[in-house]
Structure 1
Amino acid sequence: MEHGIVIIGGSVSGYNVIAGLKKGGYQGKITLINQQNYLPYDVSTLSKSWMLDQENLDPPLFKQADYYADVTLKLNTIITQINPEEKTILTQDNEEIPYDTLVLATGSVLRTLNVPGSDAAGIFYLRDFEKATKIKAWAKKIKELVIVGAGFIGLEMASTFSQWGLQVTVIEHADFPLGRILGEEASRYFMKMHEEHGVRFLTGEDLESFISDEAGNVSTAVTASGQKIPCQMAVIGVGVTPNITLSHPDLKVERGYLVNKYGETTLPDVYAVGDCVVWPYQSQLIHVEHWEHAHDHGKAVARNILNPQSSHYTVRPYFWTDQYDQHFEYLGHALTWDRIITRGSLSDRQFTLAYVDENNLPIAIFFANNGDKRKDVAKFMDTNQPIEDEKFVDMDNKLNEI
């Protein structure tokens, strides 16, 4: 291939396409184009371990620069156009870059809140390393912090900054944080865990506005019900959407770039990976924004580039989160469920929740603090058998033996 493989996006998935190509013995040309001026780094640590370390100001790189010695790097570069007929892409500086194979690893973009006062200094969105460094610097000079949104990023930030010793208040539109994903019982567990570390929750509540001081710094968050929460900093985490800013009439989009089981888009010789895609999983099209999906999908697409249509992507979605001294994992994909079966005890901090359909088949399983191991949970789900409640709830029965 004369022009080789061009990857747009130095994301988790973009990096793993490169890693997969290298592992597969690819000797051709690779070009990595990244909008940020950094080598690929692990964004998942920015809300957790990296942010918790107050003195660390280095990006959490996957690999140092010498790893990319055989890769053409175009950092701080934005792509504005795809021309599949000529097999070229165009940068914002009107540089035309040819490709033989193109990979879209564009990630996601933040949802933002447009409320009065949201332009005050000290209001942040966490998405990249540059934003993370500014958040870390600002947090060192404050005492009170408001987090808007109680998704996983919001809760991880609440955990981190309460461990910093800050007074943290979380404002969440829903009645329960993570309730749509995990259900009320697990949601209450998360709330109690955070409250035991001094975090305050305002649920079923919306942010109305911010008030700033004379210097233009945020000083107060005002809720829809009129509550005023003192804060010298606010972090907003109200979700993301797939980054599909690159478009073409023949590039099909269904929320994200639509790909088949090989990661191929509707454009010839164009793949898409990670957060920016919608992909087929168990007879439905799904979208997930988890680190493991970006990792696994990137590796699968690399295999399909090296050996076209050789590797079906059938990986069961998985995510994990660390908050305080606790570790949580989730395997599967359940937007709805018939009921939840509890294994173990939430009061003992080691538990497993099975989200089952009307036939008692597990759609997803959420497990905490290593009471069950991922490999055993995966093997249990692989049997695709209805759960026998009595056997399942008894922690003395190992999942891989039920």
Structure 2
Amino acid sequence: MILNKTIEQWCNEFPGVRDLIDYKETFWLNSNQSAAETVLPDLILSEDDILDAEARLKRFAPFIAHAFPETAVQAGIIESPLTRLSHIQTGLKNLFGKEIDGAFYLKEDNRLPISGSVKARGGIYEVLTFAESLALREGLITEKDNYKKFTDTEFKNLFSEYSLVCGSTGNLGLSIGIIGAELGFKVIIHMSDDARQWKKDMLRAKGVKVVEHSDDYSKAVAQGRRDSLKDERSYFIDDENSKTLFLGYSVAAIRLRAQLQDQNIKIDKKHPLNVYLPCGVGGGPGGIAFGLKVIFGDAVNCYFAEPVHSPCMTLGMMTGCHDKVSVQDFGIDNITAADGLAVGRASGFVGKLLENLIGGAYTVSDENLFKMLALMYDSENIELEPSALAGVIGPLSVKSEGTHIAWSTGGDMVPEDIYKEYYRKGKDLL
């Protein structure tokens, strides 16, 4: 029994659940979606919160440009390119027998500076927010100062008295570990066994303590939260429930609007924007989707993309039960090559906040992720990790004209030998 219902009762009430249980690629359209103008005013977060987050990132830009020289070309702003995909459509049509209606773009968060994934948005932002709060409290800085001062020894001495703790499938841990270590924090990342070994090795090379768990992601998060609560100088970064993480991601919408304007891409209700977001626990894609709905209203349609073995957000939103159910409750194994998306229970905070704003959600098989990974390299010369391909199949499922953007969530930090393994597997499957 799951919440006092048998699996058969669940499947009768929500027919899509049977396809999820059977690991079938599934597309769910959200019948509860409402006009953005009626939903947004009642939410606990607003455009003012997004603008506050954007302003904080601008304050930190001088520090980021100094500490991470690769960001100097963008004056310390951590942002990724919006790339027109011109060639992959042919391969996708041959593979799936469907065509994409409209222009197709890739938002290349795989190329985000510092940590090479979408998590560079939320993870880095939350660490900076915490660091700023400590520095302001101790009188080391004011908001009008040049934040390059965060490289000074007195700041590192202060931060070394505090630890940052997080549970992660990999990429969030990398972003927090890299920025946290640079600022001088002690960093502890709890990771599940299915997290990639190279990500654990990279964190340890930065001086980060990695605690490995034999269970899945949710258990790693829970243990990290428990350990952090025991130490008053420990700050827990909560991928499932953090509003700060969420707002860090949401700033992407403001940046994307500018990129669309620069490329003369018109977005309105007659020229809709369709965005496909790979989804694990939901914080990253949820924050981006929230920002996009605030900026574009009903001119944008956002869809969550998940592996067939880890469809936690699809399950939670389809049933309306959000974090009250897990994929394991239904016998779904949560074992996927898309390690960044290997989450069995969705964020209740994100699911409830967006339940009337998201256009839908869909699942994709690991086999198709690898096939698209090889296609992406062969046709566009872009290297992505498997989970980052989840958005690419979206425009084939959503028959909508307008502009399509697949959000690519990671790839640049993948070691070359590991990427070659991914690519060979994709080519073999093709």
| TM-score normalised to structure 1 length | 0.33
- Bigger relative contact order (CA 8 A; separation at least 6): 2
| TM-score normalised to structure 2 length | 0.32
Asked which structure has the greater CA Rg, the reply is 1
- Greater strand share, 1 or 2? 1
- Greater helix share, 1 or 2? 2
